Amino acid sequence: MTDTTKHFSADVTAAVSLDTDSMLRAVALRRTGSGFEVVGHHCTEKSKDPSILPEQIKGFVESCEKKGCKSAVGIDSSSVAFYGLDLPPVPDDKAEPIIKIQLESLLPVPISSVEMSPVLLPMGMHGRTAAAAVAGKSFLNQGSSLSDAVKAEKVYLDCQAIVKAWRQLCNPADEKALVLHLTTACAQVILTEKGRVLSAKTFDTVFTSDNPDGRPNPELLLHDIRSALDGSKFCDDAMPRMSLLCGDANSDESLIGYLRAAGLDIERAIPDPSKIESEELSATQICDYIVPIGVAMLSADGETPEPDLFGSLARSQEEVRSQKKSKSWVVAAVVLVLVTAAGLITARQLDEKALAMLGTNDSNELGEQRELREKIAEHRPEVLELLSLINERLPNGMMLDSFTFSRGKPVTLSSNAANWSQMRQFEDKLAEQPGVKNMTEQNPTQDEKTKKISFRLSFDYKNYTGEE
pLDDT-above-70 percentage for the chain: 70
From 137, 172, 207, the end of a domain falls on: 137
Query: Helix, strand, or coil here: 224?
Result: helix
Is the distance from CB of 358 to CB of 325 less than 8 angstroms? yes
- H-helix or E-strand spanning residue 75: strand 70-75
DSSP strand pairing (453-461 vs 436-446): antiparallel
344 part of a folded domain: no
Residue 411 lies in a domain: yes
Q: Out of 102-106, 282-286, 316-320, 324-328, pick the least confident.
A: 324-328
What is the structure's pLDDT at 455? 92
**What is the pLDDT confidence band of residue 111, given thresholds at 50, 70 and 90?**
confident
Q: Give the integer Cα–Cα distance in Å for 385 and 392.
A: 11
The average pLDDT across 364-378 equals 49
Q: Is residue 143 part of a domain?
A: no
Mean pLDDT across 26-37 = 85
Q: What's residue 191's pLDDT?
A: 92
Q: State yes or no: cis peptide before 307, omega within 30 of 0.
A: yes
Average pLDDT of the segment spanning 253-262:
87
Domain that holds residue 450: 393-461
Domain membership of residue 217 (yes or no) is no
Q: What is the pLDDT of residues 385-422, one digit of tens each?
A: 777 777 777 777 677 777 777 767 888 888 888 899 99
Cα torsion through 378, 381, 386, 392, rounded to 10: 170
Q: Residues, the chain, total?
A: 468
- For 118, which DSSP code? E
Cα separation, 153 vs 370, in Å, equals 36
- 121-125, 164-168, 399-403 — which one is most confidently predicted on average? 164-168
Can you give the C-alpha Rg of the chain in angstroms? 26
Sheet strand arrangement including 411-417: 400-404, 411-417, 453-461, 436-446
Contacts for 135 with CB less than 8 Å, ≥ 6 apart: 79, 80, 81, 114, 115, 309
CATH code at 452? 3.30.1360.100
Within 13 A of 144's CA, how many CA atoms are on the CB side?
15
Domain final residue pick, 137, 163, 185: 137
> Between 294 and 151, whose confidence is greater?
294
Q: How far apart are CA 243 and CA 271, in angstroms?
A: 12
In a domain, 427, yes or no: yes
Q: What is the pTM of this model?
A: 0.67
459 pLDDT above the threshold of 70: yes
Choosing from 90, 115, 137, the residue where a domain stops is: 137
How sure is the predictor about 158, in pLDDT bands with cuts at 50, 70 and 90? very high
Strand partners, 29: 13, 38
Q: Which residues of 132-161 are buried (b: 16+ CB within 10 A; e: fewer)?
A: bbbbeeebbebbbebbebbbbebbbbbbbb
HSE-CB of 60 using CA atoms within 13 angstroms: 28
Closest Cα partner for 43 from 29, 56, 62, 55?
56
- Is residue 383 a contact partner of residue 407, using CB atoms and an 8 Å limit? no
Q: Which of 44, 77, 111, 22 is nearest to 341 (CA)?
A: 111
Which range among 131-140, 145-154, 310-319 has the greatest average pLDDT?
131-140
Distance CA 32, CA 274 (A): 10
Mean pLDDT of 284-313: 85
Name the helix (H) or strand (E) containing 455: strand 453-461
Domain contains 101: yes
User: Using 50, 70 and 90 to split pLDDT, how confident is the model at 190?
Assistant: very high
Q: Which of 121, 122, 83 is nearest to 104 (CA)?
A: 83
367 has pLDDT over 90: no
Grade residue 184 by pLDDT with cuts at 50, 70 and 90.
Answer: confident
Going by pLDDT thresholds of 50, 70 and 90, the confidence category of residue 335 is: very low
Structural domain count of the chain: 2
State the CATH number of the domain containing residue 92: 3.30.1490
**Closest by CA position to 40, among listed 309, 361, 281:** 281
Assess if residue 412 is contained within a domain: yes
H or E element in which residue 139 lies? helix 137-149
Residue 368, pLDDT above cutoff 60: no
User: What one-character-per-residue DSSP string does 32-45 give?
Assistant: -SSSEEEEEEEEPP
pLDDT band at 19 (very low <50, low <70, confident <90, very high): low
Question: Quick one: pLDDT at residue 192?
Answer: 92
Is residue 31 in a domain?
no
Averaged over 157-162, what is the pLDDT? 93
Q: Which of 83, 89, 175, 97 is nearest to 130 (CA)?
A: 83
Distance CA 468, CA 464 (A): 9
- What's the rounded Cα separation, in Å, for the pair 449 and 34? 50
What average pLDDT score do residues 59-80 get? 79
Where is average pLDDT lowest: 184-188, 214-218, 220-224, 354-358?
354-358
- E strands within 183-333? 187-193, 196-203, 242-245, 266-268, 276-277
